[in-house]
Each structure stands twice: as C-alpha cells, then as structure tokens.
Structure 1
Amino acid sequence: MSIVKIEQKNHICRATINRPKSHNAINFGVMDKLENLLDELEHDATTRCFILSGSGQKTFISGGDLREFHTIKTAEEAKPMAKRMLAILKRIEQLPCWTIAAVNGAAYGGGCEMMLAFDFRIAAPHATFGFTQGKFYLPPGWGGLTRLVEKVGRSTALLWLAEAKVIDSQTALRHNLINHITESSDWQDEIWERAQNLTKNDRSFIKNLKEGAMRSTQARWKAIEAELDSFAQFWESDLHEERVEKFLNRK
C-alpha cells in the first residue's frame, strides 16, 4: 500500500496521503515521498496545478506522527526533522504551478501548518481545523506561526494558538484561513473542476504571478526559519515529553 497516492491528468497532479490508521500523520516515509514528488513537480513543465489531500473523509493531516517522532528526545535531534519539513513546505510554496490544499476532514497541528503553505485552501463542509500544538507544549515548528499571522492576523493567530483552538469550516472561511467551502455533495469533483480552471495558462505565466506576489514579503523567510529554534527548545522539555506520553497512553 502506497502511503502517498499520486494521480496525474490534464495538467493536474493530485497526491493523497494514505495513512488512515494513523490519521494521515506525517512521518519520515511521507517526507520521503513528498520530497520525491517535489523533485518531479519542480521540473515537470506539464503540471500546472498540484492538489494535496488526505485519504478518507475524516482526516486531512493530523500533524506529525507523535508515535514515530517520540523517539526524538533532544533539541539537536528535533532540529533536522523540523528543518526537513520547513524545506518541504518552502518548496511547495515556491512551486511554479498552482497549489491547492484539499482539506477533506480534520487538520490538526502540523496539518494546519502544511495547508498554510498552499496557494489555495479548499475545505469540505465538515472539515475542522485545530491549532493544537500547545496541548503538547510546543509552538509551531514548520513555519505555521508566521503563515497563520499572515492569513488571519496577529491577534486571532495568537488566540487560536494560546487556546489550542479547534474551529469549524465556516469560522475558518470567515477569518480567511481557507478560501472556499465546497458546496456539492461530491467535493472531490468540485475541487478538480476548480483546479482545471487554474490550468488555462502555462507554468511560466503562473511562476511570474507567484513570484510577483512574494516580492514584498521576502523578510518572512527569516521569521519562518526562526521558528525552528524555539520549536526544538520546547521539544526537549520535560513538559512536552509528559504530555506526549499521556496522549500516546490515553487508551
């Protein structure tokens, strides 16, 4: 069973994280697959739109795989993992094609950080969004703090993170966290149709627009990279260790 399913058709590439038993959590295997896919997308001139979703209808991405990552104990060990995800999300953000996060269900922690790196975020009506890093005594570590402030504003971002807030799709749309909530019963077809509407121009045109939209925000990369150190510092804290242990042993 492939942990990342890939479908390519009509200038569109759709990838689906396929780890339903782990709520589509990101682990090292998923990182490997995403890096390989990005190698292709960066050089494949035929792809004009990239869609990422999770398998099933319950979960988009539940964040990092705590059971697998819990073997990492120190800040120095945590940094390479977080740095690797920072690089993956930066590459997604800089792809010379349009990108859509198709949020098919719950997005928690790193799942929210993942979707924020996409040009557009389209959600199913039942999708929920949980900025739950604080429950594990962690700040965002994959650039999520900077990107969340960009999308919803400083006060709302801080409130959601402080409360480890879980919000519904209507609240997410009202605060500009997402761009659209699907209306049809078959939300996958609706997202595919929207993706097709983005493929009318070639990659050189798409790249020009995306690079132009980023010219005034280059300083943000320093802010995103600065999140890495604080994430690693809290990762090795006793309180983070205790909360993860409690979560993993809750059953």
Structure 2
Amino acid sequence: MSVLKVEHKNHICRATINRPQSRNAINFEVMDALEHLLIDLETDSDVRCFVLTGAGENSFISGGDLQEFHTIKTAEEAKPMAQRMLSILKRIEKLPCWTIASINAPAYGGGCEMMLAFDFRIASEQATFGFTQSKFYLPPGWGGLTRLVECVGRSTALQWLAEARIVDAEKALQHGLINRTAPAEQLKKETTAWAQQLTKNDRAFIKNLKQGAMRITEARWQAIEAELDTFAQFWESNLHEKRVEKFLNRNE
C-alpha cells in the first residue's frame, strides 16, 4: 500500500498521505515519498496547484510517528531527522505553483507545522488544530514556531504553544490560521474548485508572485533553521523520553 496517493488532473496535483491506521503520521517512508513527489512538482510545468490532504476521517496529519522516531535518542540523531522535514517543508513553500493544505480532520503537532508551509489552508468545519508539542517537552522543530508567529502573531502563537492549545476551525479561521472552512462532505469539492480558480495563470506568473512575496522575509529562513538546534536539544532530554513513553503506553 502506497503511503502517498498522487493524482494529476487539469493542472492540479492532489496528494493524500495514506496511513490512516497511524493517523497519517509522518515516518521515513512518507518523507521518501514526499521527496520524490517534490522532484516532479519542482520540474513539471503542467502543475499549477499542489493539494495535500490526509486519508480517512480521523486525522489530517498527527505529526511525526512517535512509534518510529522514538528509537532516536540523541540530539545528534534527532537533528538530521528534523533537518530532513524542515527541508521538505521549505521546498513545498518555495514551489513555483500554488499550494493548498486541505485539512480533512484534526491536525496535531507536526501536522500543524506541515500545513503552515502551504500558501493556503482550507479545513473541514469539524477539524481541530493542536499545537501539542509541549506535551512531549518539545518546541516545534520543522519551522512551525516561526511560521505560527507569522500567521497568528507573537502573543497568540506563544500562548497556543505554551498551553498545548487545541483550537476549533472557527477559532482557527478567526485568527487567520486557516483561510477557509467547508462542510466535511464538501471539502474535496470546494478544495478542487478553489484550486481551479488558482490555475488560470501559468507557473511563470505564479512563481513571480510567490518570489516577490518572499523578498521582504529572507531573514525568516535563519529563524527557521535556528529551530533545529533547540528541537534536537530537547529531544534528547529525559523528560521528553518519559512523556513519549507514557503516551505510547497509555493503553496498556
């Protein structure tokens, strides 16, 4: 079973993370699949909009796969893993086509970091958003701190992260975390309609707009890269390991 289902139609590439049994958590296999897809998206002049969603009705992306990543114990091991995801999200953000995160269900931790790398976000009215990294004694490690501050402002971002806050779609829309909502049963249809609106101009035009919008924010890349070191340091802490073990053993 492919962990990433990909469809191409009418200048739109739609990818679905297909690990519903693991709440669509990001593991190394998903990273591999995203990296291969990005090679195509960076070079395929036919694609004018890239849409990402999750399989099933229970999760958009639940973050990193703790079951798999818990084998990583030291900062030296954790940093390359985080660097790899940071690079994937940076490549998504810099694609010369529009990008839409179609949030079909709850997004937690790294799932929220993932969606923030997209140009636009549309969510099911039933979706919730959990900035839950602090429950595991971790700061964001995939650029999410910088992107969240950009999106909702410093004070709100810090409050949500400090409290491991879970917000509903209405509040997320109110604060600008997402751009649109749709009834769950209409999400795919409304996402596709929006993507079609965005594909009226070619990639040269789209690339020009996206690059222009980034010129005033070049310093942000340094801030995003700086998140790696602190993430790796907290990853190897005893408190992080204990909280992950408690979470993984919660049903025993």
The TM-score bracket by the shorter chain reads: over 0.9
1:5 is matched with which residue?
A: 5
Aligned pairs (5 A) from 1:152-171:
152-171=152-171
**How far apart, in 2, do the equivalents of 1:184 and 1:222 lie?**
37
Moved over 3 A (4+): none
1:239 is matched with which residue?
A: 239
1:135, CA displacement in angstroms?
Answer: 0.2
What is the letter of the counterpart of residue 233 of structure 1? Q
Work out whether 1:32 is the aligned partner of 2:32. Answer: yes
**Same amino acid, percent of matched pairs:** 73
What is the letter of the counterpart of residue 224 of structure 1? I
Work out whether 1:16 is the aligned partner of 2:12. Answer: no
What is the letter of the counterpart of residue 230 of structure 2? S
**How far apart, in 1, do the equivalents of 2:61 and 2:184 lie?**
22
1:183, CA displacement in angstroms?
Answer: 4.5
> Could you give the per-residue CA deviations for residues 131-186 of structure 1, whole angstroms, max 9, x where no partner exists?
00000000000000000000000000000000000000000000000000014742
CA contact (8 A) 1:184 1:190 kept: no
**How far apart, in 2, do the equivalents of 1:224 and 1:41 lie?**
23
1:119, CA displacement in angstroms?
Answer: 0.1
What is the letter of the counterpart of residue 83 of structure 2? K
1:187, CA displacement in angstroms?
Answer: 1.4
What is the letter of the counterpart of residue 155 of structure 1? S
1:58, CA displacement in angstroms?
Answer: 1.6
2:72 is matched with which residue?
A: 72
CA contact (8 A) 2:126 2:184 kept: no
Structure-1-length-normalised TM-score: 0.99
**How far apart, in 2, do the equivalents of 1:6 and 1:245 lie?**
34
Q: Which secondary structure state, in structure 2, belongs to the residue aligned with residue 53 of structure 1?
A: strand
**How far apart, in 1, do the equivalents of 2:201 and 2:2 lie?**
32
1:199 is matched with which residue?
A: 199
CA contact (8 A) 1:62 1:110 kept: yes
Structure-2-length-normalised TM-score: 0.99
Q: Which secondary structure state, in structure 2, belongs to the residue aligned with residue 13 of structure 1?
A: strand
2:46 is matched with which residue?
A: 46
What is the letter of the counterpart of residue 79 of structure 1? K
**How far apart, in 1, do the equivalents of 2:154 and 2:143 lie?**
15
What is the letter of the counterpart of residue 145 of structure 2? L
Q: Which secondary structure state, in structure 1, belongs to the residue aligned with residue 7 of structure 2?
A: strand
What is the letter of the counterpart of residue 74 of structure 1? T
What is the letter of the counterpart of residue 204 of structure 1? A
**How far apart, in 2, do the equivalents of 1:214 and 1:96 lie?**
12
The count of residues paired between Structure 1 and Structure 2 equals 251
What is the letter of the counterpart of residue 198 of structure 2? L
Gaps of 5+ in 1: none
Q: Which secondary structure state, in structure 2, belongs to the residue aligned with residue 159 of structure 1?
A: helix
**How far apart, in 2, do the equivalents of 1:22 and 1:111 lie?**
13
Q: Which secondary structure state, in structure 2, belongs to the residue aligned with residue 16 of structure 1?
A: strand
1:137 is matched with which residue?
A: 137
What is the letter of the counterpart of residue 157 of structure 2? A
1:117, CA displacement in angstroms?
Answer: 0.2
**How far apart, in 1, do the equivalents of 2:241 and 2:184 lie?**
43
1:211, CA displacement in angstroms?
Answer: 0.2
**How far apart, in 2, do the equivalents of 1:24 and 1:96 lie?**
26
More divergent stretch after superposition (219-228 vs 175-184): 175-184
Give the root-mean-square deviation of aligned CA atoms: 0.7
**How far apart, in 2, do the equivalents of 1:201 and 1:241 lie?**
49
**How far apart, in 1, do the equivalents of 2:217 and 2:181 lie?**
27
What is the letter of the counterpart of residue 64 of structure 1? G
Aligned pairs (5 A) from 1:91-170:
91-170=91-170
> Could you give the per-residue CA deviations for residues 197-220 of structure 1, whole angstroms, max 9, x where no partner exists?
000000000000000000000000
**How far apart, in 2, do the equivalents of 1:12 and 1:124 lie?**
20
